[in-house]
Amino acid sequence: MAVLDRFLNRLEEWIIVTLIGAATILTFVAVVHRYGASNSANLARWAAAHHLLLLQSAAYAVYLRLAAINLSWAQELATYMFVWMAKFGAALGVRTGIHVGVDVFVKKLTPAARKPVIVFAMLCGALFTGVIGTLGAVYVYELDPDDVSPELEWPSWIIYLAIPLGSYLMCFRFLQVMWRFLRTGYVPHQAHGIDYEAPPPDEVAPAHEVAR
């Protein structure tokens, strides 16, 4: 089970890193391509107006080369990448405790009273994400197989598959965190000046860590 957990953790992290890196590079290339094409065309017109034939020829050649490269699909693909990254990143946030939460009330409770409150919160998160995942799965199942995206012309069900997959992964992470809390009293958390540190598998967290 520990091996599977480590594999899932690494897979989750690699998917997020790959998607955000690829989407960032693709967006940068598309922006450079768009401005390069428009500016080279403007430069060619300016050079022609000032009878700078050599500059006009070079700028026009650059424009033709850039215009021949079709990147109209780049923005659409980058959007889909960021959507998938956000869904898997939300699951990572549950595992590492980086989601925003209000714990003023919980911190005022005694350690014995905190436990059911934290478990209830985890169950609510698991229930919500489980419902969203199920509704997303039904939506994907009912999509028209011939329905495709505008630019890439990919089947829509592949794109919307991020909803059930990401939501079910979040549901699993909520249940995993709750199970670990019931066994060790540890709740993952991050705050200003506090970095995430994976809990020891069988070590019970100190009492002051229970409600964080």
Please report, for the chain, the start and end positions of each structural domain, with discontinuous segments joined by +.
1-71, 87-212
Q: Give the list of residues 6+ apart from residue 35 with CB closer than 8 angstroms, or none.
A: none
Assess whether pLDDT exceeds 50 at residue 21: yes
pLDDT recorded at residue 190: 65
Q: What is the pLDDT of residues 154-175, one digit of tens each?
A: 999 999 999 999 999 999 999 9
Least confident of 138-142, 168-172, 201-205: 201-205
- Residues 140/159, Cβ–Cβ less than 8 Å: no
Q: What is the pLDDT of residues 25-41, one digit of tens each?
A: 999 999 999 999 999 99
Count Cβ atoms below 10 Å from residue 211 Cβ, excluding itself: 20
Q: Give the list of residues 6+ apart from residue 70 with CB closer than 8 angstroms, or none.
A: none
Tokens of 58: 């070079």
Helix ranges (DSSP H) in the chain: 2-49, 53-67, 74-96, 104-107, 111-142, 156-160, 162-184
* SS3 state of residue 209: helix
Least confident of 65-74, 104-113, 154-163, 188-197: 188-197
Q: What is the pTM of this model?
A: 0.80
Assess whether pLDDT exceeds 90 at residue 62: yes
Assess whether pLDDT exceeds 50 at residue 209: no
- Residues 193/100, Cβ–Cβ less than 8 Å: no
Average pLDDT across the chain, whole number: 87
Nearest to 125 by CA among 149, 154, 95: 95
Q: What is the dihedral sign for C-alpha 66, 79, 8, 6?
A: positive
pLDDT recorded at residue 84: 95
Which pLDDT band holds residue 144 (cuts at 50, 70, 90)? very high
* SS3 state of residue 23: helix
Least confident of 35-49, 55-69, 183-197: 183-197
Tokens of 48: 């022609």
- Residues 185/210, Cβ–Cβ less than 8 Å: yes
Q: For residue 211, which amino acid is it?
A: A
Q: What percent of the chain has pLDDT over 70?
A: 89
Assess whether pLDDT exceeds 90 at residue 194: no
As a whole number, mean pLDDT of residues 3-15 equals 88
